[in-house]
Amino acid sequence: MAYTIYPYGLNNRYTTKSVNGNISSIMSRMVQIAGRLCENYASNIYYALCNYDNAVRENDEYDKLITFHESGVIECEIENGTVDSRPRGIQYWRLTWNPQKKEGVFTRVRL
């Protein structure tokens, strides 16, 4: 079953943006959330950070659902604004990199 991704809220406090390849604000936000929500294996965020950094460095498009749960972080593929399954988690965030605009966005979403 496919699940559609919707914005969590209209408030900017749920969104972090970056421009021109400086993704440090997004990466910092991801680490903060993992540290706050994950009881175990918060360091799993490292894999999502590396994948995102590689996409930015290679100027490749990136669009993933980052799921934070008590036992770590999961990165899921997004296709046409949907995910194939609903991972069990505490919070869901969409992480994107647009190589044409040189813009990254990390925003909280709901399924």
Per-residue pLDDT of the chain (111 residues; tens, 9 = 90+): 789 999 998 777 899 999 888 999 999 999 999 999 999 999 999 999 999 999 999 999 999 999 999 999 999 999 999 999 888 899 999 999 999 999 999 999 999
> Which residue range(s) make up the domain with 10?
3-110
**Which of 59, 61, 96 has its CA nearest to residue 75?**
96
- Is there a contact between 104 and 96 (Cβ–Cβ < 8 Å)? yes
Q: Residue 56 region, left (φ>0) first, then alpha (ψ -120 to 50), else beta? A: alpha
Overall number of domains in the chain: 1
CA–CA separation, 100 and 70 (whole Å): 35
Neighbours of 26 (CB within 10 A): 22
Enter the pTM of the model.
0.93
Q: Tokens representing 6?
A: 């919707």
